[in-house]
């Protein structure tokens, strides 16, 4: 635990504490009354209300739209199911900047709705809500559908034999068993939408701002660190409460249920109702999940002869010191370095947490690993500039600063992927190898590594995809001569002109394709691993 604890203390707790202290302390005196002053402002109260309100509505809409999809993937078997499962998961690993840009191409100026019906939904709350459903659809399908597929269907069938209607059987038997998974999925969706930044920044306009967007505005535009620090503390407290409730729901989900092999519960659709449900889910996926990226690709190709893509290689008229296409190479290099860091730190943390003799302090560290997913990435990025500015940690001019920020977001995914597999390794195998004279390093290399190799590859893939699309912290610390893809897209969208808009669409398409390819490789690894086990 020494390595992960030192990493999080130095590159997460220290920068966040530094920016909070910079905003709330003057000449060694803490001004805690500033918290009440900030929260008493009408504009801040409006931000808090909108952040909470849109997160609640986004969560409810996501559950309403995605629960039928969870049933279809859990209980029905149909051609192309594995490919469709990968398609459904693609939006979740897409950077929020790409999601915002895709919906901007669909509902914004010159978008599909504008061209066909003269309707624009950008800078409206509906664009934000739809983008959040698009982004979080896979969370519900994966979390709820994964458990639903393993529930013994004979329990519901027994209720039907005893005279219960299909709705009553589902409500009295299946829903209580699914409740912990539904609650866990709802809390994760609420967390992601509560801290939404890229989507709201692009689609919200000046009328809508979440806490994350307001922290960015107070920090980078108004330079009011005191207000930004107060909002950071508020968001930190809210995220901590959400994660505590989520941990409780996960423990409930792990209580004893009658589970069966998921491969035997899925059947071909039977009856008009199941065929209609399948058709409805497929239509929803086509319209909600496939159409926005398709429109994004189409808009990037509107210039004759791949004009927008060719413009990426030039430098005249753009906002960077280098051609925008250089952002592709920069992002790949940063993401590879961040993946290496995340796999090392996350692997060590997972190994420590997997030990059956781990103490309460070590188990408590598991919850802390999730905090970077909910704490303001804007605060972390700006905290890097404030805290890491003196030797021996003067890293402001170093390229490693970006991968370090990206790795903070990747580590939780590595831990969540590797921990269940490490816990499943029979401890007696390690003990037998040790009795035969193997050193601890050789035990890990000969026993653990062969069993967790695929999980390690999957974890690395998730860390790579997440690092590739990190935006909140990178927007502060990426240098103008080394922009990343999300930063380049946001800056191009912030400048007027069709050429800048088209280049943003082209860069978003490139970023989307890279993330989609990474996810398809992950899905193949998961399928192969399931087949071997």
Q: What is the pLDDT of residues 3-24, one digit of tens each?
A: 898 999 899 988 888 888 877 8
pLDDT in tens, 171-192: 788 788 888 788 878 888 998 8
Contacts (Cβ under 8 Å, ≥6 apart) of 249 = 180, 183, 184, 187
pLDDT digits (tens, 9 = 90+) for 387-399: 887 777 778 778 8
What is d(CA 44, CA 235) in angstroms, rounded to the nearest whole number?
13
Phi and psi at residue 76, in whole multiples of 5°?
-110, 145
Look up residue 314 and give its DSSP letter. Answer: -
What's the pLDDT tens digit per position in 14-61? Answer: 888 888 887 787 766 777 777 888 888 888 899 999 999 999 999 999
201, 100 contact by CB (below 8 A): yes
Question: What average pLDDT is seen over the chain?
Answer: 81
Residue for token digits 């930044």?
Answer: 197
Q: Looking at 303-400, list the stretches that DSSP marks H as alpha helix, in order from N- to C-terminal side.
A: 307-311, 326-354, 360-368, 371-374, 377-387
- Residue 259: beta bridge partners? 151
Backbone φ and ψ for 151, nearest 5 degrees, come out as -70, 135
Return the C-alpha torsion angle 440, 444, 446, 447, nearest 10: 110
Output the six-digit token pair for 437: 């004279």
pLDDT band for position 338 (cuts 50, 70, 90):
very high
- Answer whether residue 318 shows pLDDT above 60: no
- Higher-confidence position of 262 and 88: 88
Other CB atoms closer than 10 Å to residue 271's CB: what's the count? Answer: 8
What CA–CA distance (Å, rounded) separates 72 from 220? 45
Give the burial class of 268: count Cβ atoms within 10 A of its Cβ; 0-12 exposed, 13-18 middle, 19 or more buried: exposed
* Mean pLDDT in residue range 463-481: 83
Strand-pairing partners, residue 25, are 30
Provide the pLDDT for residue 529.
47
Task: Tell the residue number behind the tokens 């458990």, with chain if given.
Answer: 147
Whole-number pLDDT of residue 407: 92
Classify 151 as helix, strand or coil.
strand
Say what the pLDDT of residue 533 is.
37
Percent of the chain with pLDDT over 70: 88
Q: Are 76 and 238 in contact (CB under 8 A)?
A: no
**Token pair of 61 as six digits:** 């809409």
**Cα-atom radius of gyration of the chain, to the nearest Å?**
24
pLDDT (0 to 100) of residue 361? 65
Is 247 buried (19+), middle (13-18) or exposed (0-12) by CB count in 10 A?
Answer: middle
State how far the Cα of 164 lies from the Cα of 375, in Å rounded to an integer. 46
Residue 317 above 60 pLDDT? no
Largest CA distance in the chain: 75
Query: Scanning the structure block, which residue is given the tokens 């500033």?
Result: 34
Q: Report the 3 state secondary structure along 183-248.
A: HHHHHHHHHHHHCCCHHHHHHCHHHCCCHHHHHHHHHHHCCCHHHHHHHHHHHHHHHHHHHHHHHH
520 pLDDT more than 80? no
- Please, are residues 299 and 105 in contact by the beta-carbon 8 Å criterion? yes
The helix or strand, by DSSP H or E, that contains position 70, with its residue range, turns out to be helix 42-75
pLDDT given for residue 251 in this prediction = 59
**pLDDT value of position 532:** 42
Which pLDDT score, from 0 to 100, does residue 68 have?
92
Phi and psi (nearest 5°) for 256? -65, 125
Cα-Cα-Cα-Cα dihedral sign, residues 84, 194, 488, 111: positive
pLDDT for residue 358 is more than 80: no
pLDDT tens-digit readout, 256-299: 445 454 455 667 888 888 889 999 999 999 988 998 888 888 88
What's the pLDDT score for residue 427?
Answer: 74
Q: CA-CA-CA-CA torsion for 465, 125, 242, 36, nearest 10 degrees?
A: 120
Give pLDDT, residue 531.
40
Peptide bond into 392 cis (omega under 30): yes
| H or E stretch at 169 | helix 166-169
Is the per-residue pLDDT at 107 higher than 50?
Answer: yes
pLDDT bin (cut points 50, 70, 90) of residue 230 is confident
């Amino acid at each position: 635990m020494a390595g992960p604890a030192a990493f999080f203390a130095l590159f997460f707790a220290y920068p966040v504490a530094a920016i909070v202290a910079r905003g709330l302390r003057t000449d060694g005196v803490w001004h805690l009354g500033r918290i009440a002053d900030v929260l008493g402002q009408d504009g801040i109260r409006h931000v808090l209300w909108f952040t909470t309100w849109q997160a609640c509505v986004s969560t409810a809409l996501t559950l309403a739209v995605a629960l039928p999809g969870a049933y279809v993937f859990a209980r029905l078997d149909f051609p192309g199911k594995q490919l469709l499962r990968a398609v459904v998961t693609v939006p979740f690993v897409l950077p929020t900047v790409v999601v915002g840009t895709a919906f901007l191409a669909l509902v914004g100026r010159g978008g599909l709705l504008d061209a066909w019906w003269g309707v624009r939904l950008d800078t409206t709350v509906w664009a934000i809500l739809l983008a959040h459903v698009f982004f979080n659809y896979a969370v519900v399908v994966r979390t709820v559908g994964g458990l639903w597929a393993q529930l013994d269907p004979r329990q519901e069938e027994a209720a039907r034999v005893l005279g219960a209607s299909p709705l009553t059987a589902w409500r009295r038997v299946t829903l209580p068993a699914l409740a912990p998974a539904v609650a866990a999925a709802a809390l994760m969706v609420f967390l992601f939408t509560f801290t939404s930044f890229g989507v709201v920044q692009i689609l919200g306009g000046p009328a809508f701002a979440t806490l994350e967007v307001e922290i960015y505005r107070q920090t980078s535009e108004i330079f009011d660190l005191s207000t930004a620090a107060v909002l950071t503390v508020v968001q930190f407290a809210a995220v901590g409460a959400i994660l505590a409730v989520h941990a409780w729901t996960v423990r409930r989900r792990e209580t004893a249920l009658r589970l069966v092999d998921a491969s035997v519960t899925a059947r071909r659709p039977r009856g008009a109702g199941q065929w209609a449900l399948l058709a409805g889910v497929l239509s929803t996926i086509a319209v909600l999940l496939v159409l926005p990226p398709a429109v994004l690709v189409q808009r990037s190709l509107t210039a004759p002869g791949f004009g927008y893509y060719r413009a990426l290689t030039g430098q005249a008229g753009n906002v960077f010191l280098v051609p925008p296409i250089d952002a592709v190479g920069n992002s790949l290099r940063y993401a590879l370095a961040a993946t290496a860091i995340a796999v090392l730190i996350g692997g060590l943390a997972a190994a420590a947490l997997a030990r059956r003799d781990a103490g309460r302090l070590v188990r408590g560290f598991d919850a802390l690993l999730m905090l970077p997913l909910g704490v303001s990435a804007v605060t972390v990025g700006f905290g890097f500039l404030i805290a890491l500015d003196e030797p021996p940690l003067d890293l402001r001019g170093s390229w490693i600063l970006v991968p370090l920020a990206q790795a903070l977001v990747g580590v939780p995914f590595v831990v969540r992927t590797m921990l269940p597999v490490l816990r499943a390794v029979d401890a007696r195998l390690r003990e037998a190898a040790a009795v035969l004279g193997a050193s601890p390093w050789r035990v890990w290399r000969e026993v653990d590594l062969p069993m967790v190799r695929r999980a390690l590859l999957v974890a690395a893939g998730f860390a790579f995809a997440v690092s590739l699309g990190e935006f909140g912290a990178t927007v502060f610390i990426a240098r103008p001569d080394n922009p990343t893809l999300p930063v380049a897209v946001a800056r191009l969208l912030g400048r007027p002109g069709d050429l800048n808009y088209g280049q943003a669409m082209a860069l978003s398409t490139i970023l989307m394709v890279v993330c989609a390819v990474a996810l398809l490789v992950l899905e193949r690894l998961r399928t192969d691993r399931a087949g071997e086990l």
